[in-house]
Structure 1
């Protein structure tokens, strides 16, 4: 049985991974269709506890001028799921997890709201 291999370490702050780059492109398409008014990569940072912060991948203003926080994942690590749940309990924003669908599943994005 093959074991999944994950990259060690994280990218520098402000640097997008491949999945985030693809989602950034998708948000640009939504923006050109006036479905998204504005978005910024790592545009907001939230304090969850002393010395514990959460920075969603994208801050997004939808066509209704509401701010949503989008977390883009290829796969979930337990700590990331806990952080987004805590943030959604503490702050009055819509937190959305976005996971890329495999091409064999039709592609696109799977959405989960918190």
Structure 2
């Protein structure tokens, strides 16, 4: 069994390597005028009493639509549940992104919720 997991969570506001790589991707999209704005941990959603979800990136497209982007290397069960609940409760697109291996062409895979 392959258990490659971090020993602890990073402090709020700190990006891991995959999130930093995705931030660079978002910066390229902003320069190309595909998106207008993004913010790391820019929004927090209440899902229930004492239950919140903070997507990795809030992203505004150039047409003004907001999307919430969750960057994942792997999924914990609670994280998948939270993004699904948020997508049901709030009127915006929730998107999970995963870095694609270079041998598979690189870039980012997306999953819509």
The normalised TM-score by structure 1 is 0.96
The structural deviation recorded for 1:3 is: 2.0
Q: For 1:18 and 1:5, how far apart are their aligned partners in 2? A: 14
Q: Secondary structure of the equivalent of 1:43?
A: coil
Corresponding residue of 2:89: 90
Q: For 2:102 and 2:74, how far apart are their aligned partners in 1? A: 15
Q: How many residues are aligned here?
A: 113
CA RMSD, 1 decimal: 0.8
Q: For 2:74 and 2:81, how far apart are their aligned partners in 1? A: 14
Q: For 1:3 and 1:75, how far apart are their aligned partners in 2? A: 12
Which structure 1 residue ranges, 4+ long, deviate > 3 Å from structure 2?
none
Corresponding residue of 2:98: 99
The normalised TM-score by structure 2 is 0.97
